[in-house]
Amino acid sequence: MSIPRMRTIPEAYKELKAADPNTAYTLRALRAAVNRGEIPVVPVGSKRLINMDLFFARLNAPSLIEKQANEGAGVRKLA
């Protein structure tokens, strides 16, 4: 079992920028993706932490993360 690399939104953006200095992805785009629920976060107090492995996986294969996020979602019959 590996320990997830959890970062705040600005820290996650700094790691992305360090990995790819010429990225077109902006801090504003990252915040918007988090707010839309496209990037999962873990709330800790007033902070929202991003799992860096999931974040980079989403950048590499967006449909994979969306599929995982949507599992169990959908219309279901109410009792």
Greater confidence (9 vs 75) lies with: 9
What are the tens digits of pLDDT across the range 27-51? 999 999 999 988 889 999 999 999 9
Residue 52, domain member (yes or no) = yes
Residue 72, domain member (yes or no) = no
Res 75: pLDDT: 57
Beta strands in the chain (DSSP E): 6-8, 41-44, 47-51
The three-class DSSP label of residue 78 is: coil
Identify the CA nearest to 40 among candidates 27, 49, 28: 49
Amino acid at 33: A
How many domains does the chain contain in total?
1
Residue 29, domain member (yes or no) = yes
- Tell me which residue range forms the domain holding 10: 6-63
Q: What pTM was estimated for this model as a whole? A: 0.72
Residue 42, domain member (yes or no) = yes
Q: Report CA dihedral (60, 61, 65, 71) to the nearest 10 degrees.
A: -170
**Which residues contact residue 10 at a Cβ distance below 8 angstroms, ignoring those fewer than 6 apart?**
27
Residue 35, domain member (yes or no) = yes
